[in-house]
């Protein structure tokens, strides 16, 4: 009996030591927990920026971050060597966007085109996700305002400050189909308080389409197109189309693109694009995005 006890004692001690280590190691306990429920996970990086090229994308900034964005567009390529294929001319927008939460952001900017100030708020009640209560798409809403900073065309008449203002309201429905391909559709309504002619409508309705095709680890092909479906003047205005390449360089997203629009906010590029691709009236440009952490990240207690 003493021999049996002497042989069993090390075995018993070893078993108890094993159970003790499992009880003390939370990671091993997780492996034993077969009732753990799957978690809901948001799909990120459908686009590498909150903008496709001109238009808003379905993507959001991380909370506590600021995106300093410079949009630069030169003159028309068909102007030839005398204007250095448009490089002698330039139009730009400088903007600051802020991530408030994972589905809320705000921003403002100033453009040289019509010296416009603009601001917006973007909110996504539904974001593409996997797991319980998941969604196959992202649905976002954008509301924005612009203010024309040019001198009055007729300063002698009675002019109102509200005549400088325009508003836009947009829905974004998008999906990241794979790591290489994302697509979105953006119905948009623009209201202008003051229009050039009495026959011009104050409200304009358009449909936008934007996409991203990843070509390599750091390069992607992007495009956006807006088509006015109600309110387009009879002549002189065209639908804006932009195509480009996103290049990721560390904390920067550098974008080279071609577009037939001069303006770089929704009111400007949807309602005032006066050149067309078919005649070579295309402008080369670039967008530069740099994201900064302006608020310390919250770390969960271990």
CATH code where residue 77 lies:
2.40.160.40
Percent of the chain predicted with pLDDT > 70: 86
Count of structural domains within the chain: 2
User: How many Å apart are CA 261 and CA 75, to the nearest integer?
Assistant: 10
In this structure, the answer to whether residues 163 and 27 fall within a common structural domain is no
In this structure, the answer to whether residues 24 and 158 fall within a common structural domain is no
Region 259-272: mean pLDDT is 94
Range scoring the smallest mean pLDDT among 29-33, 65-69, 124-128: 29-33
In this structure, the answer to whether residues 14 and 110 fall within a common structural domain is no
In this structure, the answer to whether residues 186 and 89 fall within a common structural domain is yes
Cβ distance 286 to 222 under 8 Å? no
In this structure, the answer to whether residues 81 and 221 fall within a common structural domain is yes
Average pLDDT taken over every residue of the chain: 86
235: pLDDT strictly greater than 90: no
In this structure, the answer to whether residues 175 and 83 fall within a common structural domain is yes
Between the ranges 71-85, 112-126, 144-158, 225-239, where is the mean pLDDT highest? 112-126
In this structure, the answer to whether residues 92 and 8 fall within a common structural domain is no
User: How many Å apart are CA 111 and CA 263, to the nearest integer?
Assistant: 8
User: How many Å apart are CA 91 and CA 242, to the nearest integer?
Assistant: 15
Expressed as residue numbers, the domain containing 64 is 41-293
In this structure, the answer to whether residues 63 and 165 fall within a common structural domain is yes
């Amino acid at each position: 009996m003493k021999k049996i006890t002497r042989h069993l004692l090390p075995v018993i001690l070893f078993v108890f030591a094993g159970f003790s280590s499992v009880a003390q190691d939370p990671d091993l306990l997780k492996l034993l927990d077969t009732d753990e429920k799957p978690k809901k996970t948001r799909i990120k990086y459908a686009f590498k920026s909150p903008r496709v090229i001109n238009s808003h994308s379905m993507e959001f900034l991380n909370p506590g971050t600021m995106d300093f964005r410079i949009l630069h567009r030169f003159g028309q390529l068909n102007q030839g060597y005398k204007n250095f294929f448009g490089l002698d001319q330039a139009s730009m927008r400088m903007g600051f966007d802020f991530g408030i939460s994972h589905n809320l952001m705000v921003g403002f900017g100033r453009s040289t085109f019509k010296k416009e100030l603009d601001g917006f708020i973007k909110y996504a009640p539904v974001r593409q996700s996997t797991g319980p209560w998941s969604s196959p798409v992202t649905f976002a809403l954008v509301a924005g305002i612009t203010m024309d900073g040019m001198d009055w065309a007729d300063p002698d008449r009675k002019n109102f400050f509200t005549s400088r203002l325009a508003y836009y309201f947009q829905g974004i429905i998008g999906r990241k189909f794979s790591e290489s391909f994302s697509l979105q559709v953006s119905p948009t309504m623009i209201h202008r308080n003051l229009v050039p002619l009495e026959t011009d409508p104050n409200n304009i309705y358009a449909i936008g389409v934007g996409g991203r095709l990843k070509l390599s680890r750091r390069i992607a092909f992007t495009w956006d197109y807006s088509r006015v479906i109600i309110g387009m003047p009879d002549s002189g205005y065209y639908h804006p189309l932009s195509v480009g390449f996103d290049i990721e360089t560390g904390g920067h997203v550098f974008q080279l693109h071609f577009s037939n629009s001069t303006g770089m906010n929704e009111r400007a590029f949807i309602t005032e694009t006066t050149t067309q691709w078919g005649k070579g009236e295309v402008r080369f440009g670039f967008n530069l995005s740099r994201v900064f952490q302006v608020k310390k990240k919250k770390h969960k207690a271990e």
